[in-house]
Structure 1
Amino acid sequence: MGLQRHNRLLMTLYCQQETCKQYGYMSIMSKEGWLFSSASPATVYHTGVVIMGQITLIEYDGTATVLDIEAGKSLMQLAIDHGVSGIDGDCGGECACGTCHVIVDGAWLAATGQPNDEEARMLEMVPEGTASSRLACQIQLSDAMDGMVVHLPEFQM
């Protein structure tokens, strides 16, 4: 590692999580407990969570919540973990209840992929369904979703 890069890493010891999120740093906890950070599009906190960007969830009343995209999670799990109201996920993400219905902003629909047959059947039953409706439990988060906007309907099933 070059001296400049090494010094930059040392200058960001003990980077706080909020600071890392704000500036998009990559943070790595060393064996000694030091938290190193450097400029990077992803962030690894001392919890080992990889952040791949951000998603904005807009509730029916217009309240916007910006969440960090966490690798390996579904949109439903991310929303529940952060206490977003309007996504219930009663079936625990098994695509069996429709209580995690979301409406993906049109420009981002391709990033979520196509609903499978099971999800398509559930979407036929959700109130306020649209052509860009998806079940949040079936949307696996990826870095391709950085900047995505998702709307929550007024009612879930």
Structure 2
Amino acid sequence: MSQQLSQPTGPDEREFRIKEISEFNIAYIRHIGPYSSLPGPIQDSIEVKIIIHFLNSIGSDSKDHKWVGISLGDPTISPENKIRFDLGATVGAEHFPKQKLGTRTVSGGKYLQVGNYTNLPLIYEFLLQEYISEKRIRVRNIPPFEIYLNPTGGE
């Protein structure tokens, strides 16, 4: 008896849309290592604890900020132990931290918004290998980022 295999379904283009955003600032901590060891804000990770401590020190609740992940390495090029990933939370310029955390501004402009994070590596591969060229989207030379809707829940 032969077993029939089903093909996994790929990203759904209906979940993509162009969205224009304003620039924003984040306070972040850099993680170096494979994305699989920090695919976003992992509850109880040292990175999350440091950011929450900083937000508490300025009298703010972490739930009042957007949590952002910025991918700075390409896992098909960079060795796993050298991939850089910045995890941060939005802050006003008046609250830029002075120790432990870095600060950066994410440029405003048009971005491609994806609604589902279920298989982020597959989504990035599809976007970079197929979608952008097929749709003739002009890409800026800036790192991609994610905004986490449930920051300490792992999404």
For the aligned pair, the TM-score class normalised by the smaller chain equals: under 0.3
Q: TM-score, normalised by structure 1?
A: 0.26
Higher Rg: 1
Q: TM-score, normalised by structure 2?
A: 0.26
